Structure 1
């Protein structure tokens, strides 16, 4: 029989030093480092309506998503603290991630080291349960307490839908609820609890509805973006509206997910040969 050779795959090679820093090799404190500067060579992006945000953010969700229901994840705190010590100045958080308590402890510890002031670190978060009246305001208050800050640099509506309230509602009803939630965000800006507001995972149609009735236009539409999902039409729409479109890419997933082979085998082997073990013995312990 012929041996089928598996075609090589492309994987995204990205450094995970910050997100996967082991506790055994901790980064020195800010005082020992001499207050490491923000990541060099990376320009900030301008927010619609004024202000700037560091272009590279440290995500606090995917790798630790709701991993510790009690909010006591020492590894997460260490990774966030190490990232800040290395010069990261943008923390991307969300109510949905269930990690804000640990992020807040890490941020508090870093600021206590004297390496930076609160205004030097851009802190963003997102409201998940945003179609229920009052939930956006309550979400901001909860995030402020958990993150141990008195204002957020950026707050987003996480998505233009909700798994519970969104079921059975027409597009018009959902749009009305999104506009009501946006009104809460605008009031939070007026109160000084949030510096800039925006959205996440909004499609062009969702943005058209929102921009048509918003007093304060969205500064950001944070969406997934990478070579496998470039979304050029959404990019063009946001650029035309003056809404920045920061893109998210989960590094851990990117490293595990191969890109499509750019040069697939034009003549794949139709016969891989007989199964060398046609009657395998069941694994007595499938979940070690």
Structure 2
């Protein structure tokens, strides 16, 4: 089986650098996608409560465990705490819901999905009369302390954050008993996150790149939006290596030292996305691709009025 590179976290836990993303994978499609991915060789599946498909992911895992294809300890499973469960007393019930849905006793990694806390005890996207997200007054540091308790209780092996800006991450680091192992952020050539990546590296935090292919199936994409798949520079790099543009994009994250989690439910594409272990981008390739940076953020959540909205800061 192809040898996926592995990265070690600041707590000594390790994680395969290539995983399957499940955002936007519909219930009814995601079970087969996860089964296909495991058969192809993926050993890292990235999930989240808000994707509303964890029971189907759990079904796939159960089948593969039952068939003896993989054992629990062979596979790395990530999930994420949603914004309406930031209140400390809701954190443990939230992870237990994900564990139940996934059919697992523990998670390898649990992330705070976004720094914005939303009003609890109702909709997952609570909105006011003006259609704006309703904030919760919970302090992210208190949420983090509840996350640390999940590690103490053996419910999760590692904890981290997602979509945090530098100031928010600094607040966690200043108050943490257990340091974040991971920061998961949008990374691709139009948003290469150089500053955040260097900051995380200096702090011993691993970066996971989501939407590495530019999330062409994002629901809010408009005709005429820039499309990484059609980028002539990327096509040139791909042709030189005898690879596809998506394969170059996945390799772009790995060769920079990031975990990468491309999403697909198409078996051929899941296989193609895994077929990136037999080549490497040169320093010249990496430099050339880095020049495509244009602050082209595709996933912003849109709730810019929220006091903890992360992307007002440069990084």
* TM superposition score normalised by structure 2: 0.63
Deviation, structure 1 residue 130: 3.6
Q: 1 CA distance for matches of 2:208 and 2:198?
A: 13
* Equivalent residue, structure 1, for 2:240: none
Alignment-derived partner of residue 153 in structure 1: 108
Residue 64 of structure 2 is aligned to residue 102 of structure 1 = no
1:53 aligns with one of 12, 15, 18:
15
Q: Any idea what the Cα deviations from partners look like across 1:148-178, whole Å, max 9, x if unmatched?
A: 0101000000011134478567xxx65xx21
Deviation string, structure 1 residues 172-214 (Cα, Å, up to 9, x no partner): x65xx21111111111101111000000001111111000000
Native 8 Å contact 1:130 1:178 kept in 2:
no
Q: In 1, Cα distance between the equivalents of 2:19 and 2:213?
A: 12
CA distance in 1, matches of 2:86, 2:33: 33
Contact 2:159 2:180 in 1 (8 A): yes
Between the aligned partners of 2:232 and 2:154, the Cα distance in structure 1 is: 50
Cα deviation per residue 1:209-229 (whole Å; 9 max; x = unaligned)? 000000000000000000011
C-alpha separation between the residues in 2 aligned to 1:117 and 1:159? 31
Aligned to 1:282: none
Local SS of the residue matching 2:115: coil
Structure with the higher fraction of residues in helix conformation: 2
Contact between 1:158 and 1:201, CA under 8 Å: does it hold in 2? yes
Are 2:227 and 1:258 equivalent residues in the alignment? yes
Larger-gyration structure (1/2): 1
| Distance apart, 1:41 and its partner CA | 4.0
Task: Give per-residue Cα distances to partners, 1:226-277, cap 9 Å, x unaligned.
Answer: 00111111111101100001111264834785148679xxxxxxxxxxxxxx
In structure 2, the residue matched to 1:182 is: 144
Q: Distance in 1 between matches of 2:98 and 2:29?
A: 20
1:32-47 aligned within 5 A: 37=1, 40-47=2-9
Cα distance in 2 for residues equivalent to 1:241 and 1:81: 36
1:134 is paired with a residue whose SS is helix
Q: How much is the aligned-residue C-alpha RMSD, in angstroms?
A: 2.2
CA change 1:261–1:99 in 2 (3 A) is closer
The yes-or-no answer on 1:162 pairing with 2:123 is no
Instruction: Give distance in 2, aligned partners of 1:117 and 1:168.
Output: 41
**Residue 238 (structure 1) aligns with:** 200
Partner residue of 1:143 out of 98, 120, 137: 98
User: Structure 2 vs 1, CA of residues 146 and 232 (structure 1 numbering), >3 Å: closer, same or farther?
Assistant: same
Closer, same or farther in 2 for the Cα pair 1:232/1:190, shift >3 Å?
A: same
CA separation of 1:168 and 1:140: change in aligned 2, threshold 3 A: closer
In 1: Cα distance, 2:184 partner to 2:36 partner: 25
Question: In the aligned structure 2, how far is the partner of 1:197 from the partner of 1:109?
Answer: 27
Determine which of 62, 84, 87 is the counterpart of 2:38.
Answer: 84
Q: State the secondary structure of the residue aligned to 2:180.
A: coil
What runs of 5+ residues in structure 2 fail to find an aligned partner?
A: 121-132, 234-315
Aligned residue in 2 for 1:206: 168
Gaps of 5+ in 1: 1-36, 65-72, 264-288
Residue 62 of structure 1: how far off its partner (Å): 2.1
Distance 1:252 1:201, change over 3 A: closer
